[in-house]
Structure 1
């Protein structure tokens, strides 16, 4: 029983990771080229907040209860996008430091090579 639940959760996660728009966006932001887009992606949290507010208003006016799931989904996506901004800046800073260290090491190696030839 637990094995079946585990398998179901793994397949659900793989499906959501592959086909849900915010997960696709966050995966693209986590690449080296995409790290600079973390802060602009935070702006996409505003439409999700607006949708959550709209759904909440509909529920308060007597709408169906299943809209609560959409409210939770919108709020979850909002949190993911807002958190990704600072995380992407931290990751970008780390990548740039590693690149600078590698470039400096390469320059020193070239200087040593030139000294050995001279």
Structure 2
């Protein structure tokens, strides 16, 4: 029974990860090229919150109870979009620090290599 529940939860996660628009956007933002779009992606929370508000008005006016699920999903997606802004900034800063240190190490190794080649050339002549 636990194995069946585990399998169902894993398959649900894979389905949601592949086909839900908010998860696709978040996966694209988490790439190195997409990190710069994290803060503008926070604006995508507004449509989710508007849909949640609209659904709550439908519920208050006698709409079906299953619309509560849409409200929950919209609020959850809005929180994800709001949180991706600061997370992407932190990831971008970390990536730039790693790139800068790699660039410095590469320049230092090239400088040391050029210096040792010049010394070898002096001893041969």
User: Which TM class, normalised by the smaller chain length?
Assistant: over 0.9
| Segments ≥4 residues shifted beyond 4 Å | none
Structure 2 unmatched runs, 5+ = 119-125
Task: Report the RMSD for the aligned CA atoms in angstroms.
Answer: 0.4
Aligned residues: 118
Aligned to 1:69: 69
Shift of 1:43: 0.4
SS in structure 2 opposite 1:43? helix
Structure 1 unmatched runs, 5+ = none
C-alpha separation in 2, matches of 1:70 and 1:5: 23
Shift of 1:112: 0.2
C-alpha separation in 2, matches of 1:8 and 1:75: 24
> Deviations 1:82-111 (Å, cap 9, x if unpaired)?
000000000000000000000000000000
SS in structure 2 opposite 1:44? helix
Q: TM-score under structure 2 normalisation? A: 0.94
